[in-house]
Amino acid sequence: MIEKVLAGVVLASCVLLFVRLLVGERRRDRLDAWLRRVGRVLAQRARAAWHWRAARREAQRVADEAIRRARGEVERDGNVYRPKSFKKPPRDKMH
């Protein structure tokens, strides 16, 4: 199975190179630019697929950390939440 796939890839690349030799210089430049764009898009998508799990894991970790911080030291008065970080510092009586 892998031999047939590899043979197909080699055949397609040979046909592409042959067509590239047959066309004129202007079309060859356009074909080369198109192949670079396609290669760049494929590389970006491959990188995104490769890093997808790591990015998802990192997003979950950041969300869990934000939830943990939000649940921190809080006074509850009915449906009102007052974080301790909102409390004003005691007044300086010396001045």
Structure confidence by residue, pLDDT tens digits, 32-61: 999 999 999 999 999 888 888 888 899 999
> Could you give the 3-state DSSP secondary structure of residue 1?
coil
Percentage of the chain surpassing pLDDT 90?
47
pTM for this prediction: 0.47
Average pLDDT, the chain: 86
Q: How far apart are CA 61 and CA 51, in angstroms?
A: 15
Give residue 87's pLDDT band: very low, low, confident or very high (50, 70, 90). Answer: low
